[in-house]
């Protein structure tokens, strides 16, 4: 019997990657490259599996946040260069990142002058040339440094024979909801780039657009864009002003890639008036048939969805989906749903239950559940605990390219890369 698993559709991710390639291909301008954001274990979906799929497709760069995540890419023999976003201040010769850095496969970010000096020490001490990206803070007020100090850093980098200016970037604070703020940051970064142009190598990657910025304006896509949530088919569901996006129609065609499925582990009848779960917050309005499902807040189903008018899907014998409302308080490892209105041969012990689905119109769509829980799609995805098995769905090509079948593979190593 299936307990609970996260299905990650690699074919959908591939389709979304190609959709962004099409968006970026505009007449009379070079096509920007794509940097895939795979931080936080690819938003909890399994960075190595996603990275290897994207590498086959020719993704230009992969970005992760920590040295541990970068090492995972190196140890898994991911061939695409990796941008390490957080500042690195030490690197030992026996570190797995050393050899990768010496071959130009690891790019380091520079956030301030101290970080610059640390990378100079690393490069000189190890005798390697280090590709670096300078983060310019144009209004996010998080990582990076102000434009004036970034100018000093750029000068130092271009003067040093052990550092290679591989990229410069900024990060938009509100590209999903504030066009005016986004354009102000874009203009600040543009002015900085104009001043720095004489120093910048021809192959220097210039990137500022994330998923919402890429969908908002073609002008925000410089020589590279950084795509994270959009790879999984989400984005429009997060935007307050989706109508203001130049590529809104293309965004709506993205394919959601994440499902959470489980099975019924117990069924029981309760009397009218009986209360359900901790606190007794739900009272049965009639004799009620309840199903118990092994999914709770300890593995990512938010407590805030307790008795919140949401439902799970169960396949009906005649086809289609029946909806069973979540009732009572969500527990640590289990939840209760009301299956009274479903046929008994649909809701049986062992019946598969779709807790999170990919249909944007369904009540269990991931982004819809996130909104009902008062959170975001990002947090909901990252909150799906690594204890849950990740199952990877891939469209595999047989020797005859006209014969294609879906293959479901299970990765029992979900805890790697936390």
pLDDT tens sequence across 142-175: 999 999 999 999 999 999 999 999 999 999 999 9
Contact 163, 157 (CB under 8 A): yes
Q: In the predicted model, what is the mean pLDDT of residues 198-218?
A: 95
The verdict on 369 and 304 lying in the same domain is yes
Query: Which position has the token pair 């005016």?
Result: 180
What is the pLDDT at residue 28?
A: 87
Do residues 142 and 61 both lie within one domain?
Answer: yes
Whole-angstrom Cα distance, residue 211 to residue 230?
A: 6
- 166 and 91 share one domain: yes
- Bridge pairing between strands 163-169 and 205-207: parallel
Residue 249 has a pLDDT of 83
409-314-364 Cα angle (round to 5):
85
- Which secondary structure element, helix H or strand E, spans residue 193, and what is its range? helix 179-196
CB atoms within 10 A of CB 296: 18
Confidence of residue 400 (pLDDT cuts 50, 70, 90): very low
- Average pLDDT estimate for 311-328: 96
The verdict on 61 and 145 lying in the same domain is yes
Going by C-alpha positions, the residue among 321, 324, 336 that lies closest to residue 283 is: 336
50: buried, middle or exposed (CB in 10 Å: 19+, 13-18, 0-12)?
buried
pLDDT, tens digit (0-9, with 9 covering 90-100), for 35-69: 999 999 999 999 999 999 999 999 999 999 999 99
Q: What pLDDT sits at residue 408? A: 52
Classify residue 387: in a domain, yes or no.
no
Residue at 205 is within a domain: yes
268 located within any domain: yes
Residues 262 and 217 in one domain: no
Residue 384 Rama label (left phi>0; alpha psi -120 to 50; beta): beta
Question: Which of 104, 108, 192, 179 is CA-nearest to residue 146?
Answer: 192
Which of 232, 247, 277 marks a domain boundary?
232
Same domain, 52 and 132: yes
pLDDT value at residue 410:
52
How does pLDDT run across 113-147, given as a tens digit for each residue? Answer: 999 999 999 999 989 999 999 999 999 999 999 99
Q: What is the pLDDT of residue 240?
A: 66
Position 88 confidence tier, pLDDT thresholds 50, 70, 90: very high
DSSP secondary structure of 141-162: -SSSB-HHHHHHHHHHHHH-TT
Question: What domain range is 321 assigned to?
Answer: 258-382
Please give the backbone phi and psi of residue 137, each rounded to the nearest 5 degrees, phi first.
-85, 110
Q: 282 and 177, same structural domain?
A: no
Give the mean pLDDT of 171-189: 95
Q: Tell me the sheet residues that pair with 164.
A: 131
pLDDT above 90 (res 250): no
Domain-located, residue 394: no
Examine residue 125 and state whether it is found in any structural domain, yes or no: yes
Q: Mean pLDDT, to the nearest integer, of 399-407?
A: 33
The answer to whether residue 249 sits within a structural domain is no
**Residue 66 and residue 139 in one domain:** yes
Predicted pLDDT of residue 403: 30
- Looking at the 3D structure of the chain, how many domains does it have? 2
Q: Residue range 311-323: average pLDDT?
A: 95
Same domain flag for 201 and 67: yes
Residue 294 sits in a domain whose CATH number is: 2.40.37.10
Residue 416, token pair as written in the block: 């790697």
Does 98 have pLDDT greater than 80? yes
pLDDT tier at 223, thresholds 50, 70, 90: very high
The answer to whether 335 touches 326, Cβ cutoff 8 Å, is yes
User: DSSP labels for 335-390?
Assistant: EEEE-TTS-TTTS-TT-EEEEEBS-TTSTTBHHHHHHHTTS-HHHHHHTS-TTSEE
Q: What local confidence, expressed as pLDDT, does residue 237 receive?
A: 66
The DSSP symbol for 223 reads: S
pTM of the model: 0.92
Q: Count CB-CB contacts under 10 A for residue 155.
A: 12
Write down the pLDDT at residue 263. 98
The angle that helices 47-57 and 67-75 make with each other, rounded to 10 degrees, is: 60
Residue 393 in domain: no
pLDDT at 413: 39
Q: Are residues 60 and 189 in the same domain?
A: yes
Average pLDDT of the chain to the nearest whole number: 92
3-state secondary structure of 33: strand
In a domain, 244, yes or no: no
Query: pLDDT value at position 251?
Result: 83
Of 232, 248, 273, at which residue does a domain stop? 232
Is there a single domain that holds both residue 41 and residue 107? yes
Residue 70's CB is within 10 A of a number of other CB atoms, namely 29
pLDDT of residue 252: 83
| The predicted structure's pLDDT at residue 417 | 32
**How much is the average pLDDT of 309-337?**
97
Beta carbons within 8 Å of 237's beta carbon, 6+ residues apart = 360, 365, 367, 368, 371, 377
Tell me: pLDDT of 402 over 60: no
Same domain flag for 340 and 212: no
pLDDT for the residue numbered 248: 81
- Position 395 scores a pLDDT of 60
CATH number at residue 132: 3.20.20.10
Q: In this predicted structure, what is the pLDDT of residue 101?
A: 92
CB distance 161 to 224 below 8 Å? no
How large is the average pLDDT for residues 66-73? 98
| Selection from 15, 1, 2 nearest residue 393 by Cα | 15
pLDDT at residue 244 in the model? 75
């Amino acid at each position: 019997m299936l307990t609970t698993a996260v299905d990650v559709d690699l074919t959908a991710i591939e389709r979304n990657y190609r959709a962004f390639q099409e968006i970026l291909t505009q007449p009379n301008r070079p096509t920007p490259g794509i940097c895939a954001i795979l931080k936080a274990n690819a938003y909890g979906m399994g960075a190595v599996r996603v990275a290897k799929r994207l590498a086959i497709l020719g993704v230009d760069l992969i970005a992760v946040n920590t040295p541990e995540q970068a090492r995972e890419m190196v140890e898994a023999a991911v061939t695409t260069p990796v941008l390490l976003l957080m500042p690195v201040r030490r690197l030992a010769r026996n570190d797995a990142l050393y050899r990768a850095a010496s071959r130009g496969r690891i790019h380091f970010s520079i956030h301030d002058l101290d970080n610059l000096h640390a990378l100079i020490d690393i490069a000189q001490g190890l005798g390697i040339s280090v590709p670096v990206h300078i983060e310019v803070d144009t209004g996010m007020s998080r990582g990076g440094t102000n434009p004036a100090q970034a100018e000093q850093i750029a000068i130092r980098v271009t003067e040093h024979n052990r550092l290679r200016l591989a990229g410069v970037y900024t990060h938009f604070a509100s590209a999903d909801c504030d066009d005016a703020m986004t354009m102000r940051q874009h203009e600040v970064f543009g002015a900085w780039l104009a001043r720095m142009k004489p120093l910048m190598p021809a192959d220097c990657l210039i990137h500022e657009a994330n998923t919402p910025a890429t969908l908002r304006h073609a002008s925000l896509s410089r020589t590279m864009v950084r795509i994270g949530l959009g790879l999984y088919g989400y984005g429009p569901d997060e935007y307050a002003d989706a109508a203001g996006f130049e590529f809104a129609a293309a965004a709506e065609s993205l394919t959601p890639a994440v499902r959470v499925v489980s099975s019924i582990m117990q069924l029981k009848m309760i009397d009218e008036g009986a209360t359900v779960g901790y606190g007794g917050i739900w009272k049965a309005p009639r004799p009620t048939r309840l199903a118990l499902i092994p999914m709770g807040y300890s593995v990512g189903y938010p407590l805030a969805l307790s008795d919140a008018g949401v439902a799970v899907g169960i396949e009906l014998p005649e086809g289609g989906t029946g909806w069973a409302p979540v009732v009572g308080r969500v527990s640590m490892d289990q939840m209760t749903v009301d299956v009274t209105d479903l046929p008994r041969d649909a809701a049986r012990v062992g019946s598969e239950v779709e807790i999170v689905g990919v249909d944007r119109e369904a009540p269990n769509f991931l982004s819809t559940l996130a909104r009902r829980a008062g959170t975001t799609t990002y947090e909901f995805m990252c909150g799906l605990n690594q204890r849950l098995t990740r199952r990877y769905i891939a469209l595999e090509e047989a020797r005859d390219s006209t014969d294609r079948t879906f293959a479901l593979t299970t990765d029992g190593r979900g805890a790697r890369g936390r």
